[in-house]
Amino acid sequence: MSNLTYTLIFYIFAAITVFSAAFVVFSRNVIYSAFALLFTFFGVAALYVFLSADFIAVTQVVVYVGGILVLLLFGVMFTKSIMNTELKSDVLHIIPGTLILAGILSALLYTFYTTHTWKPSEIELHGSIVERIGYETMSHYVLPFEMVSILLLAALIGAAFLARFDKSDNKNL
């Protein structure tokens, strides 16, 4: 494929990511925001693919789309008051948010246009980066990896304990 095709596809995925993220922020319906977050996560994963970061792209899809977004959707959908049609979030502080957005966008554009030394790296990676990450994780970083797994297990046990009891039963404890 030509360079123009890659650029066009990149801009399509970037637009999907930005517009779905804006829909997440400005939507008043929580369910619609959660489903727009799905497109945002997939758009970010596609941008990682364009950066040749395939491991991070797959991790983005597995962790965020497969785990966090599904958990968020189930949490929202199992809430008793979600069927209430008056459950809407208010969009507040539009003017300060727009001013902050304009400031950040102008700073990013200034940085983009004043940086002239962007060039691709001359170092070429050979082989699978996933294999290298797995080797490093299981050799040099075993202790931090296991500590994170114990922390996540403790968080899971705590969440199960908190979800186990009904709020009315906790008053009798």
Domain boundaries, the chain: 1-82, 128-173
1-82: which CATH topology?
A: Four Helix Bundle (Hemerythrin (Met), subunit A) (1.20.120)
- Summarize pLDDT for 62-89 with one digit per residue, the tens: 888 877 777 777 777 666 555 555 555 5
- Summarize pLDDT for 14-66 with one digit per residue, the tens: 999 999 999 988 887 777 888 888 899 999 999 988 887 888 888 888 888 87
DSSP letter assigned to residue 125: P
* Cβ atoms of residues 23 and 33 within 8 Å: yes
Cα(150)–Cα(103) distance, rounded to whole angstroms? 41
- Summarize pLDDT for 155-172 with one digit per residue, the tens: 888 877 777 665 555 555
What are the C-alpha distances in Å from 48 to residues 42, 51, 163?
Answer: 10, 5, 36
The model carries a pTM of: 0.58
